[in-house]
């Protein structure tokens, strides 16, 4: 049987090209997504600033979870400064050096200098031993007004020893005198360094009683493995751990942990979509390939081949093609992961130097999935060909019936009902789970259309037959007759187009709907007349100064952050963890600057150990006012605040609102992000002028009115959606390949049909006219069905995001037309070009050729 399968593949290699292309592209797509997912779980970077310290002590920057990948806290988790002495006292340690970091914004003429992608980070002078960063000119800083730069930073800023530099932090500027230069420890440093006295560094870090990490310089001859064990035992009681090797890069570069979390989230969610789409495309392509061999399979049955033998033959053929295609698709998959990595780096989802991890696991998984998909699809497609009688099969080759088998019709109907039920689930229950189910229902609905397709297409053709004949007398008549007689072949062409339109529409417009709802909530909830923002945060003293202005009726400083919430799902024993956007605000005067759309409780009680939740977050936690929840703040601190209010504007302002004083103590540098100001009646012009003067006297501070701030917030929401758009482009590209592949297969298989038309008098232009009309029919039906499939999920998403208030999703007409135009272009080219190629053959030769 294996020999027969190989001979069949060699004898009709052209008939297997379509299946090969579908599996090849599926392997590449799944490998690319798998490599990104693996990189998010395992990738790191070698240390630079800590290269001279073989061991580094620091806190864990992620919240470990045995069931899911660890989640980054979102900010630096520090350790007590007193731990430096503990580490230094461990036998085998020559010196323990505490390191702190803070952003340095160099300024000139009262404005922050734009350094592009480069950034300058400040540290204490003692930490130069960890690089090491040797002094190459000048001397070490001796007073709080002195500064040392690394050579790259000095060259970028055009400074030399003896020059003065203004540095901004929190809007406040301070002048330093450059007294020395150090050499960087790496030829391509991720960060440029600035070094001040240790006391000044602790002050600027905002947390003088804590350090970011502790670099360990071992004593001469010390056993590193034994020293690592001794250090781990000494620091575990303080919640710290020991980093060695490339792990030191994870404690040095905080953005790596955040990038890994982002990559896991994006690649994991879209990997599932890519898998479903790949399975659907592969199944459709193999089904069409088996369908085109009905006469051959019927002939095998006529010469005594049993149904079991036919099934085995098709399965072996599919396995051979799947293994070859999947293996050859691995290298393009690696290249695809590199392209996606570069795209993510370009929009800031991951750092520019984030390295992907190429390992065997994603490749093995891709091959197994492709093999499994091909085998299941081939066996399912072979069932009908193997069951029917040979004479009936030969007769069916001439005219295809749109009638569906009872199991297929029943399964298709159940999936259609189930998909509609999932899409409208937000009408019954609220929360993100229902909204997510509504978005994913598009896959179920597309599968239902694929199963019920012949009947749906037959009905659509009957309804449009008269219009087709009127549009083109000859081509229209031929197209109408052909489509009516071959609804199954037409379904194979239409279904991937429906998939392309529906998937692209739901994924794109789910994002635009979420952005629109968030922007609407931010616009409606912002009561303040003016918003003050800072390029590197705002000093708390600035909010106090603004509040003292006579024209300011209400002033609310705001801190933005994230928290990790823990909650139990019904019937679960282990807690589920999820990241929520958070903000810290002062309860005093809050109603005068922000309208959170309060549903229950009161924000007046938002002080101390309390929290306010959005309606969505409250449903996720399963709590009401008065209950307690468990959170981990961005610096890793666990808290269990009591819920004092539940509000509606979660997308616009964050799902978790905490007292500002509490969040300020756990923020990276003790700075505010925004200050919301409402003017007293008639005082806005004078207050705005005062704020403009105040902003001009501070570094990196801007004053925005309500409209400007809303536009800026919308831009932030768009930036958050870009990562999703990149992976969607890859998935849509694969769908486009699948669509083109299916249509080329379908059109190229009509060689004998076109030859017969020409032998009975049809001109080549009339045949092409028929194909053009058929393409128009295919596109029209696909647009109608694709749009119809996309509407219920999008309505469900809109209902979920607006809490059943608005069923109309935010659909950009130009984007929708672009989806239709791209799909139509693929369909027309994939049908016309193969038809032109087939018409080159002489009709007499083509009519006698094999299928």
Residue range 113-125, pLDDT digits in tens: 888 778 889 999 9
First to last CA, the chain: 22
Q: What is the pLDDT of residue 476?
A: 58
CA-CA distance, 142 to 244, in Å (whole number)? Answer: 32
- In this predicted structure, what is the pLDDT of residue 555? 94
pLDDT computed for residue 12 by the predictor: 62
Closest residue by Cα to residue 808 from 822, 800, 798, 821: 798
Q: How confident is the model at residue 754 (pLDDT cuts 50, 70, 90)?
A: confident
User: Coil, strand or helix: which one is 672?
Assistant: strand
- 193-220 in b/e form (b: 16+ CB < 10 A) is bbbbbbebbbebbbbeebbbbbbbbbee
- When pLDDT is averaged across residues 219-245 and rounded to a whole number, the result is 91
778, 770, 838, 754: which is closest to 14 by C-alpha?
A: 838
Instruction: Give mean pLDDT, residues 134-154.
Output: 93
pLDDT tens for each residue of 518-549: 888 888 899 999 999 888 789 888 999 999 99
Residue 138 burial (CB count, 10 A) = 17
User: Residues 55-92: pLDDT tens digits?
Assistant: 999 999 888 776 667 788 888 999 999 999 999 999 99
Place 716 in a pLDDT band, splitting at 50, 70 and 90: low
Residue (of 485, 526, 788, 552) closest to 687 by Cα position:
552
Give percent above pLDDT 90 in the chain.
36
CA distance 524 to 533: 19
CA proximity to 663, closest of 717, 610, 716, 597: 610
> 660 phi and psi, to 5 degrees?
-60, -40
Candidate from 194-198, 438-442, 847-851 with smallest mean pLDDT: 847-851
- CA–CA distance from 787 to each of 438, 780, 816 (Å)? 15, 11, 10
Q: So what's the pLDDT on residue 285?
A: 77
pLDDT (average), residues 410-421: 92
- Does residue 21 carry a pLDDT above 70? yes
pLDDT tens digits, 258-272: 788 778 877 777 777
As a whole number of angstroms, the distance between CA 13 and CA 142 comes to 79
Question: What is residue 480's predicted lDDT score, i.e. its pLDDT?
Answer: 62
pLDDT at 511 over 90: no
Average pLDDT of the segment spanning 411-427:
91
Buried b (16+ CB within 10 A) or exposed e, 551-589: bbbbbbbbbbbbbbbbbeeeeeeeeebbbbbbbbbbbeb
Task: Copy the structure tokens of residue 289.
Answer: 């390939």
* 123 strand-pairing partners: 195
pLDDT of 849 above 60 = no
Q: Say yes or no to pLDDT of 469 above 60.
A: no
Distance CA 328, CA 315 (A): 20
Strand bridging mode 213-218 / 192-196: unpaired
d(Cα 23, Cα 369) in Å, to the nearest integer? Answer: 10
State the Cα–Cα distance between residues 181 and 194, nearest whole angstrom: 9
* Environment class of 77 (CB within 10 Å of its CB; exposed 0-12, middle 13-18, buried 19+): buried
Specify which residues 703 forms β-bridges with: 532
Report the distance separating Cα 384 and Cα 395, nearest Å.
14
- Structure tokens given for 764: 């080549």
**Owner of token pair 């990559």:** 263
Residue 228 reports pLDDT greater than 60: yes
Q: Is a pLDDT exceeding 60 seen at residue 471?
A: no
DSSP calls for 699-728: TTEEEEEHHHHHHHHHHHHHHHHHHHHHHH
How many distinct helices (H) and strands (E) make up the chain?
27, 27
Token readout for 197 is 């006295």
Please give the Cα distance from 267 to 349 (Å, whole number).
12
Least confident span in 2-6, 29-33, 432-436: 2-6
Higher-scoring residue by pLDDT: 555, 281: 555
Q: Higher confidence at residue 614 or residue 184?
A: 614
CB under 8 Å to 149, separation ≥6 — which residues?
Answer: 120, 157, 159, 165, 178, 180, 181, 182, 192, 193, 194, 195
pLDDT of residue 481: 62
Residue 27 host element (H or E) = helix 13-42
Q: 52-61, 282-291, 375-384, 463-472: which range is least confident on average?
A: 463-472
pLDDT at 397 over 50: no
Two structure tokens written together for 586: 């002062």
Around Cβ 808, how many Cβ atoms within 10 Å? 11
Question: Quick one: DSSP state of residue 242?
Answer: E
Which stretches of 697-705 are DSSP H helices?
none
Q: Kindly tell me if the per-residue pLDDT of 824 is higher than 50.
A: yes
Give the position of tokens 């050499």: 183
CA distance 202 to 179: 20
Res 3 pLDDT > 80: no
Average pLDDT over residues 337-353: 83
768 close to 837: Cβ distance less than 8 angstroms: no
Strands of 143-302 (E only): list them: 146-150, 164-169, 172-182, 192-196, 210-211, 213-218, 240-244
Mean pLDDT, the chain, as a whole number? 84
pLDDT of residue 563: 94
Quick one: pLDDT at residue 632? 95
Residue 216's nearest CA partner among 90, 388, 324 is: 90
The residue among 657 and 462 whose pLDDT is bigger is 657
Average pLDDT of 316-320?
A: 83
| Separation CA 17–CA 509 (nearest Å) | 35
Per residue in 581-618, pLDDT (tens digit) is 999 999 888 999 999 999 999 999 999 999 999 998 99
Is 168:697 a contact under the CB 8 Å cutoff? no
For the segment 92-102, what is each residue's pLDDT rounded down to a tens digit? 999 999 999 99
- 151-161 residues labelled b (16+ CB within 10 A) or e (exposed): bbbbebbebee
What CA–CA distance (Å, rounded) separates 321 from 323?
6
Would you state the structure tokens that stand for residue 296, as one six-digit string?
A: 């051959």
For residue 485, give Cα distances in angstroms to 61, 349, 458, 480, 619: 64, 51, 9, 9, 53
CA distance 577 to 80: 26
């Amino acid at each position: 049987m294996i020999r027969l399968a190989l001979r069949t593949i060699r004898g009709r290699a052209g008939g297997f090209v379509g299946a090969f292309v579908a599996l090849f592209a599926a392997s590449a797509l799944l490998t690319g997504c798998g490599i990104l997912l693996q990189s998010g779980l395992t990738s790191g970077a070698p240390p630079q600033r800590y290269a001279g310290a073989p061991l580094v002590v620091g806190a864990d920057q992620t919240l470990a979870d045995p069931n899911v990948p660890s989640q980054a806290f979102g900010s630096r988790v520090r350790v007590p400064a007193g731990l430096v002495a503990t580490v230094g006292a461990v036998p085998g340690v020559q010196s323990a050096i505490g390191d702190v970091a803070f952003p340095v914004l160099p300024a000139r003429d009262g404005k922050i200098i734009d350094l592009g992608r480069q950034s300058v980070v400040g540290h204490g002078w003692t930490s130069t031993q960890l690089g090491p960063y040797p002094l190459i000119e000048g001397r070490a800083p001796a007073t709080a007004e002195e500064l040392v730069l690394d050579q790259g930073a000095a060259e970028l800023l055009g400074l030399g020893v003896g020059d003065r530099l203004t540095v901004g932090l929190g809007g406040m500027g301070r002048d330093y005198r450059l007294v020395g230069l150090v050499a960087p420890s790496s030829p391509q440093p991720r960060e440029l360094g600035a070094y001040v006295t240790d006391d000044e560094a602790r002050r600027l870090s905002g947390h003088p009683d804590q350090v970011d990490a502790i670099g360990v310089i071992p004593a001469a001859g010390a056993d590193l493995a034994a020293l690592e064990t001794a250090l781990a035992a000494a620091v575990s009681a303080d919640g710290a751990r020991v980093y060695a090797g490339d792990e030191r890069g994870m404690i040095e570069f905080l953005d790596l942990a955040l990038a890994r979390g982002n990559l896991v989230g994006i690649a994991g969610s879209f990997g599932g979509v890519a898998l479903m789409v790949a399975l659907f495309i592969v199944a459709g392509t193999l089904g069409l390939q088996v369908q085109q061999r009905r006469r051959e399979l019927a002939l095998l049955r006529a010469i005594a081949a049993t149904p079991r033998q036919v099934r085995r033959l098709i399965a072996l053929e599919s396995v051979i093609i799947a293994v070859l295609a999947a293996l050859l698709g691995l290298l393009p998959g690696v290249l695809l992961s590199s392209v996606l990595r570069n795209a993510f780096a370009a929009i800031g989802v991951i750092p520019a130097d984030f390295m992907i991890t190429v390992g065997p696991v994603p490749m093995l998984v891709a091959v197994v999935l492709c093999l499994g998909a091909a085998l299941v699809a081939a066996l399912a497609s072979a069932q009908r060909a193997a069951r029917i009688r040979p004479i009936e099969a030969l007769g069916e080759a001439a005219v295809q019936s749109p009638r569906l088998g009872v199991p297929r019709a029943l399964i298709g109907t159940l999936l259609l009902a189930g998909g509609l039920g999932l899409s409208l689930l937000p009408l019954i229950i609220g929360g993100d789970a229902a909204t997510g189910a509504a978005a994913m229902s598009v896959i179920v609905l597309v599968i239902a259309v694929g199963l019920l397709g012949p009947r749906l297409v037959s009905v659509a053709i009957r309804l449009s037959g008269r219009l087709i004949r009127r549009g083109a007398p000859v081509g229209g008549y031929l197209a109408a007759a052909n489509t009516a007689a071959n609804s199954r072949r037409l379904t194979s062409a239409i279904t991937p187009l429906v998939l392309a339109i529906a998937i692209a529409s739901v994924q794109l417009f789910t994002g635009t709907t979420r952005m629109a709802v968030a922007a609407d909530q931010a616009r409606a909830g912002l009561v303040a007349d003016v918003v003050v923002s800072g390029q590197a945060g705002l000093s708390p003293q600035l909010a106090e100064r603004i509040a003292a202005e006579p024209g300011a009726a209400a002033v609310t400083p705001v801190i933005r952050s994230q928290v990790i919430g823990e909650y139990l799902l019904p019937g679960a024993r282990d807690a589920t963890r999820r990241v929520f956007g958070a903000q810290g605000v002062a309860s005093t005067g809050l109603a005068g600057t922000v309208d959170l759309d309060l549903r229950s409780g009161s924000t007046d009680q938002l002080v101390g150990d309390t929290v306010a939740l959005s309606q969505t977050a409250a449903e996720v936690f399963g709590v009401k006012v008065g209950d307690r929840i468990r959170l981990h703040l961005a610096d890793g601190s666990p808290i269990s605040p009591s819920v004092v209010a539940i509000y509606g504007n979660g997308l616009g302002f964050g799902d978790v609102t905490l007292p500002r004083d509490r969040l300020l103590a756990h923020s990276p540098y003790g700075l505010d992000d925004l200050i919301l100001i409402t003017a007293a009646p008639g005082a806005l012009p004078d207050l705005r002028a005062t704020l403009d003067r105040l902003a001009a006297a501070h570094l990196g501070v801007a004053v925005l009115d309500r409209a400007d701030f809303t536009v800026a917030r919308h831009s932030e929401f768009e930036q958050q959606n870009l990562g999703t758009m990149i992976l969607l482009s890859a998935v849509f590209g694969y769908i486009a390949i699948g669509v083109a592949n299916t249509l080329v297969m379908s059109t190229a298989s009509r060689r004998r049909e076109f030859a017969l038309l020409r032998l009975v008098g049809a001109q080549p232009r009339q045949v092409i006219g028929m194909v053009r009309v058929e393409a128009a029919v295919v596109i029209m039906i696909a647009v109608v069905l694709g749009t119809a499939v996309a509407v219920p999920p999008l309505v469900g998403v809109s209902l979920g995001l607006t809490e059943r208030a608005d069923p109309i999703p935010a659909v950009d007409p130009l984007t929708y037309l672009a989806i239709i135009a791209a799909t139509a272009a693929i369909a027309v080219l994939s049908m016309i070009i193969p038809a032109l190629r087939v018409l080159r053959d002489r009709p007499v030769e083509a009519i006698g050729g094999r299928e």
